[in-house]
């Protein structure tokens, strides 16, 4: 069965620190990859997505992610975090079988200290 | 363009009752998916509808059901509620069914007492 792992459950950073959140998936076929963010009191929003092409994708608010097929990974990065980045981050995949259901990781809670 | 809307936003029910949640997708979107979010299990896929047909179903008991109308609006129903059904129920819409980005609504917070 497909699964998505996010090994960091809670990350605490100071403003201006660099961020990298890990995401690994288990599925032998072709996947589409997503990062969603859930700010406190708000709904899930799409940060970025990878379907094909350049494995380095850029999203909103200065976030980027790199798809490394050999490592089954899609890590999220940001060079300098801000207090407003405090949120929960979810990695998700869909498998290209025609179905569109997202398999989510357990999420990583990011706290940025001013 | 308005986003995905869900009603009601909050709901309190007692065990054994049933509940119906509603979702209106982004205008023009024809696919609607439902997810359950709980602290213990995280985000789990319930089912997906496209053109009034259920295309895909997650691993949930038959007490969980849904439907989609001709205007793409969707409802999900949970019968014989259990305490463990307390969760945030999220609806997501996408333009087409397969391999498309899903946009989420704010969710309905269901509490079962």
Residue pLDDT, tens place only, A3-31: 899 989 999 999 999 999 999 999 878 88
Q: For residue A70, report the phi and psi dihedrals to the nearest 5 degrees.
A: -65, -25
Percent of chain B's residues with pLDDT above 90: 87
At CB < 8 Å, which residues of chain B contact A? Answer: 31, 33, 35, 42-45, 48, 55-56, 58, 90, 92, 94, 97-107
What pLDDT is attached to residue B99? 64
> Looking at the DSSP assignment, which residues form a beta bridge with residue A112?
A13
On whether the CB atoms of residues A93 and A33 are closer than 8 A, the answer is yes
Q: Which residue is associated with the tokens 């696919």?
A: B31
Task: Note the maximum CA span of chain A.
Answer: 44
Question: Are B55 and A99 an interchain contact pair (Cβ–Cβ within 8 Å)?
Answer: yes
What pLDDT is attached to residue B106? 95
Tokens read off for B77: 């129903």
């Amino acid at each position: 069965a497909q699964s998505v792992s996010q090994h960091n459950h809670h990350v605490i950073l100071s403003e201006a620190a660099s961020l990298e959140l890990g995401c690994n998936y288990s599925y032998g076929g072709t996947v589409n990859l997503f990062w969603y963010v859930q700010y406190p009191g708000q709904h899930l929003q799409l940060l970025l997505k990878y379907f094909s092409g350049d494995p380095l994708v850029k999203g909103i608010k200065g976030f980027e992610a790199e798809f490394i097929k050999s490592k089954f990974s899609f890590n999220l990065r940001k060079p300098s975090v801000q207090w407003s980045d405090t949120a929960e981050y979810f990695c998700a995949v869909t498998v290209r079988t025609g179905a569109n259901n997202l398999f989510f990781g357990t999420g990583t809670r990011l706290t940025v200290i001013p | 363009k308005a986003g995905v809307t869900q009603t009601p936003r909050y709901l309190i029910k007692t065990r054994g009752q049933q509940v119906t949640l509603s979702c209106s997708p982004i205008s023009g979107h024809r696919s609607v998916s439902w997810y359950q979010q709980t602290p213990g299990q995280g985000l789990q896929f319930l089912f997906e509808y496209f053109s009034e047909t259920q295309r895909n179903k997650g691993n949930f008991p038959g007490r969980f059901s849904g439907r989609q109308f001709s205007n793409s609006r969707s409802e999900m129903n949970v019968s014989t509620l259990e305490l463990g059904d307390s969760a945030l129920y999220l609806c997501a819409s996408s333009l087409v069914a397969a391999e498309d980005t899903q946009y989420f609504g704010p969710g309905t917070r269901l509490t079962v007492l």
